[in-house]
């Protein structure tokens, strides 16, 4: 059965999963406000503004730019039903090799930009007493054991944690929240042009260098995840009343999540006695 038409606000929509999501939504008759750093990257693919599509040139690191985009969407379509925080980039570098600017810039895009979108979109959803927030994290935002990816992992863990808290906060208002944990997806995400690398001291750490080489030389272009199918999964999750809070995407993501759950359970069991002994006796 065809879904009722809804209005989606999607960041990072000019390429990768975001672009696929916009394409599928438009094909199915939904309305889409899509953001990118340049409007031309959107209009080249989807055409100009219409009654179903609104291309928005947005600097996600600017609160004023984000606010203007959300307000224009509401003015254009009258409503926002689904918000998808999709924009982000990977940062590779050992913890002490990352400069303060590199770390903060990664968080600006991966965490604080989604926060800005939510800050300006949520008042509209609250007034409607309906809506769905979908934050695109990564499997590294749940299973973070990747040498040399601390900045990216931390930013995605932050986004995942935010989504959990948000879900509890807005449930009584009829608003849902979902965090998506994709495994490796076959896009340009790991290309040399998209991946930020702090190479200082990388060679001093064999695990970090091996991880970087794996992602750049072996994994890029051979990722298991299909961006088309991931876009359709996101749409499926948004279409059901019992939308998941945690949505893992792909076999690799499921396997890594299960492995972490088992490892945590083992730690809990091994340390249960010592852990509970830290409570007051009374």
Backbone angles phi, psi at 132, to 5 degrees: -145, 125
- What is the CA angle 33-249-5, rounded to 5? 30
Residue 113: Cβ within 10 Å count: 26
Query: Which residue, 79, 59, 78, is CA-closest to 69?
Result: 59
Q: For residues 58 and 106, is the Cβ–Cβ distance under 8 A? A: no
Q: Where are the beta strands (DSSP E) in 144-222?
A: 175-182, 196-197
Instruction: Indicate which residue of 89, 152, 181, 205 is catalytic.
Output: 152
Distance CA(19)–CA(46), nearest Å, equals: 9
152 as an active site residue: the answer is: yes
Catalytic residues: 152
């Amino acid at each position: 059965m065809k879904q009722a038409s809804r209005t989606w606000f999607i960041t990072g929509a000019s390429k990768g999963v975001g672009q696929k999501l916009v394409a599928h939504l438009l094909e199915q008759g939904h309305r889409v406000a899509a953001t990118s750093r340049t409007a031309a990257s959107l209009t080249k693919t989807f055409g100009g503004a219409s009654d179903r599509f609104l291309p928005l040139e947005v600097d996600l690191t600017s609160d004023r730019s984000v606010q203007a985009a959300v307000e224009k969407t509401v003015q254009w379509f009258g409503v926002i039903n689904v918000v998808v925080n999709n924009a982000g980039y990977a940062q590779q570098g050992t913890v002490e090799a990352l400069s303060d600017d590199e770390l903060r810039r990664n968080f600006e895009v991966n965490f604080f930009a989604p926060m800005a979108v939510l800050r300006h979109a949520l008042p509209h959803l609250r007034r409607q007493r309906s809506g769905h927030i979908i934050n695109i994290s990564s499997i590294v935002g749940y299973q973070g054991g990747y040498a040399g990816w601390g900045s990216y992992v931390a930013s995605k863990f932050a986004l995942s944690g935010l989504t959990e808290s948000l879900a509890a906060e807005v449930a009584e208002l009829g608003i849902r929240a979902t965090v998506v944990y994709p495994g490796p997806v076959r896009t340009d995400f790991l290309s040399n042009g998209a991946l930020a690398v702090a190479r200082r001291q990388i060679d001093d750490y064999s695990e970090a260098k091996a991880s970087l080489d794996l992602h750049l030389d072996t994994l890029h272009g051979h990722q298991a995840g299909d961006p088309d199918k991931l876009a359709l999964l996101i749409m499926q999750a948004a279409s059901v009343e019992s939308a998941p809070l945690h949505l893992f995407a792909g076999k690799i993501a499921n396997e890594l999540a299960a492995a972490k759950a088992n490892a945590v359970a083992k730690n809990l069991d091994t340390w249960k006695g010592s852990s509970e002994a830290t409570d007051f006796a009374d």
